[in-house]
Structure 1
């Protein structure tokens, strides 16, 4: 009997507003697999403890009748859906279902203080149970796979079979003409939260303003309001020293985000820890110089094409940003390197995912 790959789109199906983070990743794959003959898209309805097929237009179809050799793949926030692991466990027992989970990161275990306690507790309970029910995992970086292996070893849990995938680069845009924005600005993309470390950039801009640096661009922080964000929006709006030099753009669509990437001077990504780091490769796809942290998976995204810095070293970031603004030759060398970057396409990433899924399932 031929196997079916069932792609769980539940996180995207119930997402409200422009897709960001994990939802945006699922949307990228869904846009490729929506008309596929070898992947069928499904959602989990928690109130019914059942899966349903969805159409290419996201309309709800008939209930899924699982067959032998079916492979269910979840790339979303499965920890948000109570009882999902139990449903999968029963399907494995009754239908021989194979289940593969994409692990984005293990932040709640490695850095629990980056996340609100309730969310952290929900995730850790789900995660340990998920490891007992899955047939294997995909990870989005070698860093995440290494962290997962260390976690399993320290907790005395058997490490499931694992395969590393690579996300595609860039945004899937619906418009070609991207407007130019004025005045000049630097861009940092990411949810406004403690882990993303935008407060470092706020402090850097404050130092540069106080130094009287000529040619300092505005700083745009593009991201929704998140948890533990250190009141960053209030700081920006009330700190007179910043003098309107920092702006926040919330809930930006992919088209608006594309416009910001296209028009910015350079990008900044000082995150403390990532499972991958999509804004780094997105920046390069738009031909923009990127300064990013030197931790976790971020050094894997584009080796040799990014300037990496310690996310706790405010002086290093201040000096590098000053140099980008003042040293034209230095900036030209970096720009020349960026223009050699070859993006990883989402359709090739989707093909790789299928190959890795089959490798685990067999």
Structure 2
């Protein structure tokens, strides 16, 4: 049976981001393994370059044939790159990120850059402080074969494995495929935009809720990444009096490409944390946004510093800034002493993130709501203990291998942090248990998805 996997959002994400996180990380890992386990013609990727383009398809094996994900290579293979442009969408996003969104400064620099690029692409790159070789970049990766898809055979499956709530011609294809008697499978990562719109921008919350409502008209099978998400979706479907099948598909712990419980090499990337942080540190991985509860973590760190002073380790946030971070930035800016004990590493590469996981004292994940919790499992892959929020799906990731906190209880967070910082023997005992526990690989997770799709 041929399966078509929608990667539209992954392609658009690659245009703006060099690394993959969250949903996009899952797509890359799983589709790569499924392609390796199957015949080339059995796993196909489909995508639409925009709402106004036709759906295109390509071989998943040809697209994901490398060991490590590379955004530029993916776009080059799909012929998204253009030598006519002075800079990529990702380069523009990174350049403008130094100015607040919606600010006059940002608008002025954006207009100024467009004017410079109109007259000289090379000077535009100089203005952006980008290497000149970027403008003269030759396409080092050959385009792979793609073809138009207007209709799917009834025997085929269409798997919507990404953020399908964004309007796309692939959704139209899914509706037609369902109408013709074909199977459409939707992976659900969480229901957060619908259940907690306060954690998202209003546009996303409305878009997601609309999609959730009409998706049951053409989806044959929902696959959720945790039991918590599965139960929440079943409640929603019951209220809508929809009997669509729902399955659970737990994600992996593996940080793919890096051996479990082993030290990395002596490369600059492997020693990134030692070179950049230089002091003992506690790590918090994930997009910095209101849902991740960073403000409460900063408050807890502030209280720890009042109690223990300079003995408190650094707090390192590894992740880009996301939605509704004004309170986080304001709180951090208001306390000079706290700023000295906090480091923020935006857009870390996989090598840099692996180095941070390896060298941290432990990780903390105080999120208010999740669909799974990839950083909790990834820390365990490196044998690291974590303090984790007891919210939503998070206890499913590692069970009793880690300790839990109420994400609304700052005093409780401080007590847990102080206990672990003052009791290295306890932390080592927990790490020994983590190091010998059975953890899931992405290959296993891909195999499980294959079984679910066979049902």
Aligned ranges for residues 177-216 of structure 1 at < 5 Å? 177=265, 178-179=270-271, 180-181=273-274, 182-213=278-309, 215-216=311-312
Aligned equivalent of 1:31: 32
Gaps of 5+ in 2: 65-73, 79-145
Q: How big is the alpha-carbon RMSD for the aligned residues of Structure 1 and Structure 2?
A: 1.9
The structure where helix makes up a greater share of residues is: 2
Higher mean C-alpha displacement, 347-356 vs 15-24 = 15-24
1:164 aligns with 2:169: no
- Work out whether residues 54 and 148 of structure 2, in 8 Å CA contact, stay in contact via their aligned partners in 1: no
Q: TM (normalized to structure 2)?
A: 0.74
The structure where strand makes up a greater share of residues is: 1
- Work out whether residues 34 and 41 of structure 1, in 8 Å CA contact, stay in contact via their aligned partners in 2: no
Aligned equivalent of 1:40: 44
CA distance in 2, matches of 1:356, 1:33: 13
CA distance in 2, matches of 1:129, 1:50: 21
1:149 aligns with 2:234: yes
CA distance in 2, matches of 1:100, 1:143: 19
Aligned equivalent of 1:350: 446
Give the superposition deviation at 1:84: 4.0
Aligned equivalent of 2:166: 80
CA distance in 2, matches of 1:317, 1:104: 27
CA distance in 2, matches of 1:84, 1:126: 13
**Secondary structure of the residue that 1:81 maps to in structure 2?**
coil
**Secondary structure of the residue that 2:216 maps to in structure 1?**
helix
TM-aligned CA distance change 1:84 to 1:126, over 3 Å: farther
Aligned equivalent of 1:267: 363
CA distance in 2, matches of 1:167, 1:244: 36
- 1:243-275, CA deviations, whole angstroms, 9 ceiling, x for partnerless residues? 410111111121111111011110000001111
Aligned equivalent of 2:111: none
- Work out whether residues 74 and 101 of structure 1, in 8 Å CA contact, stay in contact via their aligned partners in 2: yes
Higher radius of gyration, 1 or 2 = 2
CA distance in 2, matches of 1:328, 1:173: 29
CA distance in 2, matches of 1:107, 1:126: 13
The number of aligned residues is 355
Gaps of 5+ in 1: none
Aligned equivalent of 2:202: 117
Aligned ranges for residues 119-134 of structure 1 at < 5 Å? 119-134=204-219
Aligned ranges for residues 275-354 of structure 1 at < 5 Å? 275-354=371-450
- 1:15-64, CA deviations, whole angstroms, 9 ceiling, x for partnerless residues? 12111111111111133234441322222343234242253254331123
Q: TM (normalized to structure 1)?
A: 0.92
**Secondary structure of the residue that 2:4 maps to in structure 1?**
strand
